[in-house]
Amino acid sequence: MTTIFGVPAAALYGQILIGLINGSFYALLSLGLAVIFGLLNVINFAHGALYMLGAFTAWLGLQYFGLNYWAALVVVPIVVGLFGIVIERLALRRISGLDPLYGLLLTFGLTLVIEGLFRYWYGSSGQPYAPPPQLTGGVNLGFMFLPIYRGWVVIASVIVCFATWYVIERTRLGAYLRAATENPALVKAFGINVPLLITLTYAGGVALAGFAGVLAAPIYQVSPLMGSNLIIVVFAVVVVGGMGSILGAIVTGYLLGVLEGLTKVFYPPASAIVIFVVMAVVLLVRPAGLFGRGD
């Protein structure tokens, strides 16, 4: 059996793959958090709950409306985005301009309500969600066995992250978003409808979480607490990448996912905390984050 640094190669590749998959979710979720924080100054604690809502919407859609996986990938982000519009219009808008702590508390409360409702309705145990038939099975890459669905998750997340980056950094709408993040009052004075932009940004950010939820459904069990397990790590990712940095959130998401996977191979006991160790070090050395502008 081949080994690398005394570790079986297959185990190493396997953990790197798992790291990339976890990293895919970190990237999708921290990207939305970073965009939302940049424009709204809201630390969206509900992001994990909305990711869970995405997974549940896919599951419910399949159970009750025969909504297949591919349709869910399109429909669920829209549903979660619409829910985001309601949250922004009814709640977040009322606390805009206040200390970010208020937004954090509000979205934390929202998280408790959403997760509590799903626990009440569906219990804490997970619901299985089968991957679509086109993506079942696996391929032998020679050096490792790759389950097709897992490869798909990585590809899909890279595509969506890149598309989001492109919209923000290369389009007119993205220029509005970047400018409003810097100086909303002046952007308004130019005649741009910033309140609408804020609503759309929140909706877009949480739609990414909903999309991640659909991707996750066939891998993890669809359960009310699936988001709360993830969100703390994702916050650490955002802190490491730098609040409000788009590219930083994406790159850091994948890097930390892989780092976590590697730690699992070389020193398993540390794998659960390695991301937080990195966060602590980054906060000490570069408080604005690896990609943060820092002012």
Partner 1 sequence: MAARPLLEVRDLEAWYGESHVLHGVTLSVGEGETVTLIGRNGAGKTTTLRAIVGILRKRKGVIRLGDRDLMALAAHRVARAGLGYVPEERGIFASLNVEENLLLPPHVADGGMSVEDIYRLFPNLLERRKSPGTKLSGGEQQMLAIARILRTGARVLLLDEPTEGLAPVIVQRIGEVIRTLKSLGYTILLVEQNFRFAAKLADRFYVMEDGKVIDGFRADELSAKSEVLHAYLGV
Residues that bind partner 1 (CB under 8 A): 172, 175-176, 178-179, 181-183, 185-195
Q: How many CB atoms are closer than 10 A to CB 139?
A: 11
In angstroms, rounded to a whole number, what is the distance separating the alpha carbons of residues 273 and 69? 33
- Measured from the CB atom, is 245 or 252 closer to partner 1? 245
* Residue 138, strand partner residues: 147
- Measured from the CB atom, is 93 or 178 closer to partner 1? 178
- Measured from the CB atom, is 82 or 188 closer to partner 1? 188
Closest CA to 215 of 14, 27, 65: 27
* Least CB distance to partner 1 at residue 290 (A): 17
* Least CB distance to partner 1 at residue 193 (A): 5
- Measured from the CB atom, is 185 or 284 closer to partner 1? 185
Residue count of the chain: 295
- Measured from the CB atom, is 58 or 198 closer to partner 1? 198
* Least CB distance to partner 1 at residue 263 (A): 34
Q: Judge contact between 127 and 60, C-beta under 8 A.
A: no
Q: Judge contact between 32 and 93, C-beta under 8 A.
A: no
Q: What is the distance, to the nearest Å, from the Cα of residue 252 to the centroid of all Cα atoms in its chain? A: 12
- Measured from the CB atom, is 176 or 211 closer to partner 1? 176
Closest CA to 47 of 100, 92, 84, 99: 84
List CB contacts of 2: < 8 A, sequence separation 6 or more: 8, 9, 10
* Least CB distance to partner 1 at residue 202 (A): 17
Q: Judge contact between 100 and 41, C-beta under 8 A.
A: yes
Taking CA atoms, 257 is separated from 26, 153, 237, 253, 262, in Å, by 7, 14, 9, 6, 9
Q: How many CB atoms are closer than 10 A to CB 200?
A: 20
* Least CB distance to partner 1 at residue 264 (A): 37
- Measured from the CB atom, is 181 or 199 closer to partner 1? 181
- Measured from the CB atom, is 134 or 183 closer to partner 1? 183
Closest CA to 197 of 39, 37, 6, 59: 39
* Least CB distance to partner 1 at residue 234 (A): 23
* Least CB distance to partner 1 at residue 123 (A): 46
Q: Which residues of 122-137 are buried (b: 16+ CB within 10 A; e: fewer)?
A: beeebbebebeeebee
* Least CB distance to partner 1 at residue 107 (A): 25
